[in-house]
Amino acid sequence: MCSSDLYELGIRYNQPYRKSARIVGDTMGKYHPHGDSSIYDALVVMSQDFKKGLPLVDGHGNFGSIEGDGAAAMRYTEARLQKVTQEAILADLDKDVVDFVSNFDETEKEPCVLPARIPNLLVNGTEGIAVGMATSMPPHNLGEVIDGVKAYMKNPDITVRELMQYIPGPDFPTGGLITNRDELLSIYESGTGKIKIRGRIETEAAKGGRLRLVISEIPYTMIGANISKFLMDIVALIDSKKTSDIVDISNQSSKEGIRIVLELKDKISSESISGSAGGDAAEFANIPSGAASSAVSEALEALMVLGYSQGETAPILGKLDPSLSTQELIKETLRLMTAKNMR
């Protein structure tokens, strides 16, 4: 009810911000007499662009971060409606197009549903749990959802497979690559399943001829404390000598976006691959022996350190020009894998 209350209070996108405490208090007094913390939490989430692909509230002040930092107290922050919320979700609220019911003490009227012009549930997704049931719906791209709605309006008997021509899959605010795209049809048809997401990795040249791997997009489930956990897990691998290929890891993320940097050592040896396989590195990786240059082996090990299996990287590496440098091989392999996942 936060967005409805913002609309009722006249806190529009083109009006000055108002204190969050005022919005929370008004919502609690009129519509939600169950404490202020849950109301403010909902207001905060609706303003976070790393949790919502289409934020519904324009927050001013400290509304938390992707790394799990909490929002400031409601007495310090301010908010107002986003333009899309006002025009696509609340615009017709005063035109008697939805039913209204009495509030908890029958002193006010509240809408049963909002007169939304777009299916916000599909665009922003939702997570919730109730008595004997739970749901977890992923977010989707706004433009694709609108195209899907138009197709459904033209053909109410459209199949899920046909609808996926317009909405090919989820679109997470944090980016990432869906690795099990071939299972999406079954997931959409049945309403159950797991969507597997992998971060996006890019390569950069560092000083001294070293290779630098940059994570620019992360899985949606990593937001919050899981980013710190990921960094600590990598540090633990380095400290325990389970990997000697990463010499440093740093989190250079900012308001511009995610940037987790892994610095690799000068020469990534292939001995560890040979040792773990108990034989020749080329045979282990299913790469033709003629193509098993040191650069190919180094690229293979670097990709395995990052969590890519030999089964998905080796066939691609085996088709590339072995005269390419390690950096070029990794970059091309990641590009081809990304293209494959996008299909």
Residue 1 has what pLDDT? Answer: 61
**Closest Cα partner for 32 from 104, 90, 99?**
104
The residue-averaged pLDDT of 59-77 equals: 94
Number of Cα atoms under 13 Å in the Cβ half of residue 123:
22
Q: If you average pLDDT over residues 36-53, what whole number do you get?
A: 93
Q: To the nearest whole number, what is the mean pLDDT of the chain?
A: 83
- pLDDT mean over 160-181: 93
**What is d(CA 64, CA 82) in angstroms, rounded to the nearest whole number?**
18
Q: State the Cα angle at 277 between 274 and 282, rounded to 5°.
A: 60
Cα three-residue angle 243-245-251, rounded to 5 degrees: 95
CA distance 215 to 180: 20
Tens digit of each residue's pLDDT (9 = 90 or more) over 111-125: 999 999 999 999 999
pLDDT for 291 beyond 70: no
> In sequence order, which ranges of the chain are alpha helices (DSSP H)?
2-8, 20-30, 36-45, 83-88, 120-124, 142-154, 160-163, 184-190, 225-239, 271-277, 281-285, 294-305, 310-319, 326-342
Local structure of residue 320 (DSSP, 8 states): S
Report whether pLDDT(150) > 80: yes
Q: Any idea which of 6-20, 63-77, 141-155, 175-189 has the lowest mean pLDDT?
A: 6-20
Q: What is the pLDDT, as a whole number, of residue 288?
A: 39
Catalytic residue among 31, 76, 220, 308: 76
For the segment 39-62, the average pLDDT, to the nearest whole number, is 94
**166 annotated active-site:** no
d(CA 106, CA 321): 74
pLDDT score at 153: 96
* Rounded average pLDDT over 44-56: 94
pLDDT tens digits, one per residue of 234-283:
888 888 877 777 888 889 988 888 999 988 876 553 333 223 333 333 33
> Is it the case that residue 325 has pLDDT exceeding 80?
no
pTM: 0.75
Of 128-132, 144-148, 177-181, 258-262, the range with the highest mean pLDDT is 144-148
Report whether pLDDT(294) > 80: no
Measured distance CA(37)–CA(228) in Å, rounded: 26
User: CA 60: distance to chain centroid?
Assistant: 23
Strand order in the sheet with 200-205: 200-205, 211-217, 260-264, 246-251
For 192-248, the pLDDT digits (tens) are 999 989 888 888 877 777 778 889 999 998 888 888 888 888 888 888 877 777 888
**How many residues in total does the chain contain?**
343
Return the residue matching tokens 């289409």: 54
CA Rg, the chain, in Å? Answer: 25
